[in-house]
Structure 1
Amino acid sequence: MRDVVEQLQRLGMSGYEAKAYVTLVVAGQPLNGYEVAKRSGVPRSTVYETLGKLVGKGAAYELRGPEEAVGYLPLPPKSLLERMRREFDDSIESLQASLPTIVAPPGAHMIHNLKGTEAVLARAEDVIAAARTDLFLSIWPDEMKQLCPLVGRVAERGVEVSIVHFGPAEVSVGHLYEHRFPVPDSVIENLGCSLLVVVGDCSEVLIGGFVNGSAWGVYTEDPAVVLMSVEYIKHDIALQIIADRLGHDTLREFWNSDPELMRLRAAHGHPAALLRAVGMPDL
C-alpha cells in the first residue's frame, strides 16, 4: 500500500488524498469520514477536507443516506488511471505548444555536470528519448544493456541511429558497428575509463565516463562540443569500416608502426588523467 500511495503522489495527489483514496479502495464499501480517518491515518481534523478534495477531483463520490449521513466511494482504480492518463496527455500536448513560446533566448549554452551511474544514464535516456531526426552513440556493453530498449523504440519511429559499440552487441539496433580496431581493452588502457557519448539531433550531447563502479558526466547544448562529439563518433565508425575493408592485420601493422600515429596515441594519457581528476576526484 505504501508503494501505491507514493505512486499516486507522483501523479498529483497529496499524501492525505492518496491515503484516503487507497483506504476507500481497500474497504470495498462506503465509509464515512470517521472510518476513513481511523483506517488511513489521515487526521480527523482534516479528513473531510481531504475527502472533499477527492470528490472535487472526481476520484471519489459522496453517498447521502438517512439523516444526512454521508459515505464515500472511490472512483474505480481503472477509471481513475484512465482519467489521469488523459489529463496527463492533454497537459503534455498543451505544454508542447505553449511552453516553447515563453522561453527566453539563453545567454549562454546550457552545461551541467553529473555524478553517479544512475544520474548519467538517466540523462542519456533524456537525450535518446528527445531525438527526432538522428542519434549518435559511442557505447559499451554495460550501458547498452540499459539503454538498448529505448534506443530501439527511437529507431522504430524513424530516427536514424548510428552506433559504435565496443565489442560484440547482444542486439543490433539501427546502424551498429562493432568497435574491434583498436581492440576495446586497449582503448580502456589508453583512456583509463570507458566513455559513453550520446548525441541527439546534433543539438545536445551527454558525455559520461565509467571506471571502478563510479561515473561522471557532462551534458551540454554547446554547438562546438556537440559538433566535436558527432565527428568523434563518425571517425570511429569510419575507422571500423576501413579496418573491415582493408583487413585488420594490414591496418594493425600500419597502426603500430607509423610514427605519427604512435605519437598521437601516446598523447591520450594526459587528457584522460585530467578527465578522471575533474570528474571523479575520489578515484
Structure 2
Amino acid sequence: MSGYESKAYVALVAAGKPINGYEVAKRSGVPRSTVYETLGKLVARGAAYEVREEPDATGYLPLPPEALLDRLRREFDGSLDALKSALPAVAAEPEAHLIHGLRDGAAMLARAEDVVAGARRDLFLSVWPEEMAQLHEGVRAASERGVDVSVVAFGEIEDVGHVYRHRYSAPQAVLDDLGYRLIVVVGDRREAVVGGFADGAAWGIYSADPAVALMAAEYVRQDAALQILADRVGAAELDRWFASDPGLLRLLRRS
C-alpha cells in the first residue's frame, strides 16, 4: 500500500463502523482532495468495501486485518515463487567470487543468517552464546531440513545438531588470548562469514570463494577434533604434548 492507503486503512480499522470519506480524511490525515481516490484504490484491491446506507451517502468498511494479512502473505509468497523460477534463468555467472567487508554486528549476523538459511548439505559454526542467540532458530531449522550441523560452542548453548563445547582451552582463556569473540559460519563449504566482536564493535567478511569457505570449514572441523581429543586423552596430557613436542612448540611459537 502507499502511505495514504495505509493511513486510510488504519483509520477504517480504528473506527469500528462505516465512515465516509470526510471522516477518513479527518482521522487519517489523508488530504480531502485525494481521500476518495485513495479509498477507491483500497476498494479496488479488496482491502475495503463500500457501504451505501442511503442513496447519496457512501460509507467504507475495512477488510478485517487478519484477512488482509493472510491475503498479503499469499500474494507475497506467490511473488517469491515466481521470482524463484524466473531470476535464476536470467542470472549471469559471476566473473569473480564475491567477497565483501562487514562493518557492524547487525550486518555480520544478518549475513550469517543468510549463509545458514542457504545451507543444504552441511553447516559449520564456531560461535559464542551472544551471537548464537540470534542464529539458533535458523540453525535449528537447517538441522530439521536435513543439513549436517556442526557447532563449536565457546560457552553454553542449546544443543542443535552436533555441538562440541570448547573446553580446551577454556572460553575465557581464548577470549583473553584473542581479545575478541570470533565467529565462523560456513554453508556447504561454498560461502562463509568470518569476523569478530569486541567492546561493542564488530568487523568481518563474507566470501563466496570456495577456497576461503573450505579453509573456514577446516578451522571449525580441526577445533572440534581437538575438543574430542581432549575429552579422550585428557587435558593434562595434551598440555604435556604442547609444552614438550618440538613440532608443536614451533607451530605455536609467537613471533
TM interval, short-chain normalised: over 0.9
Counterpart Cα distance in 2 of 1:207 and 1:139 = 10
Counterpart for residue 71 of structure 1: 59
Match of 2:244 among 235, 254, 257: 257
CA-CA distance at 1:186 after TM superposition: 3.0
Equivalent residue letter for 2:223: D
CA-CA distance at 1:77 after TM superposition: 0.9
Counterpart Cα distance in 2 of 1:30 and 1:88 = 29
Equivalent residue letter for 2:226: L
Counterpart for residue 174 of structure 1: 161
Counterpart for residue 247 of structure 1: 234
Match of 1:55 among 39, 43, 50: 43
CA-CA distance at 1:191 after TM superposition: 2.5
The DSSP-based 3-state class of the residue aligned with 2:30 is coil
1:55-88 CA-to-partner distances (Å, cap 9, x unmatched) read: 1211111223434322211111111111111111
Structure-2 change in CA distance of 1:265 and 1:47 (3 Å)? farther
| Overall identity of the aligned pairs, in % | 60
Equivalent residue letter for 1:104: A
Return structure 1 stretches of 4+ with deviation > 2 angstroms: 63-70, 182-192, 256-267
Kindly indicate whether the alpha-carbon contact (under 8 Å) linking 2:132 and 2:157 is maintained by their aligned counterparts in 1.
no
- For the aligned residue pairs, the C-alpha RMSD in angstroms reads 1.6
**Structure 2: stretches of 5+ with no match in the other structure:** none
Match of 2:25 among 8, 32, 37: 37
Counterpart Cα distance in 2 of 1:142 and 1:95 = 35
Counterpart for residue 124 of structure 1: 112
Q: How many residues align?
A: 255
Structure 1 residue 82 corresponds to structure 2 residue 70? yes
Kindly indicate whether the alpha-carbon contact (under 8 Å) linking 2:42 and 2:48 is maintained by their aligned counterparts in 1.
yes
Counterpart Cα distance in 2 of 1:189 and 1:108 = 37
1:223-279 CA-to-partner distances (Å, cap 9, x unmatched) read: 111111111111111111111122211011111233432333344x8xxxxxxxxxx
Equivalent residue letter for 2:252: R
The DSSP-based 3-state class of the residue aligned with 1:218 is strand
Counterpart for residue 92 of structure 1: 80
Kindly indicate whether the alpha-carbon contact (under 8 Å) linking 2:191 and 2:209 is maintained by their aligned counterparts in 1.
yes
Normalising to structure 1: TM-score of the pair?
A: 0.85
Counterpart for residue 211 of structure 2: 224
Counterpart Cα distance in 1 of 2:28 and 2:230 = 66
Structure 1 residue 198 corresponds to structure 2 residue 198? no
Counterpart Cα distance in 2 of 1:240 and 1:66 = 79
Equivalent residue letter for 2:106: E
State which drifts further: 64-73 or 26-35: 64-73
The DSSP-based 3-state class of the residue aligned with 1:261 is helix
The DSSP-based 3-state class of the residue aligned with 2:216 is helix
Equivalent residue letter for 2:138: L
1:35-65 CA-to-partner distances (Å, cap 9, x unmatched) read: 1010001111221221122112111112234
Structure 1 residue 162 corresponds to structure 2 residue 150? yes
Match of 2:198 among 206, 211, 215: 211
Counterpart Cα distance in 2 of 1:57 and 1:83 = 11
Counterpart Cα distance in 1 of 2:115 and 2:35 = 43
Kindly indicate whether the alpha-carbon contact (under 8 Å) linking 2:108 and 2:204 is maintained by their aligned counterparts in 1.
yes
Kindly indicate whether the alpha-carbon contact (under 8 Å) linking 2:22 and 2:32 is maintained by their aligned counterparts in 1.
yes
**Structure 1: stretches of 5+ with no match in the other structure:** 1-12, 270-283
Counterpart Cα distance in 2 of 1:253 and 1:125 = 40
CA-CA distance at 1:170 after TM superposition: 3.5
Normalising to structure 2: TM-score of the pair?
A: 0.94
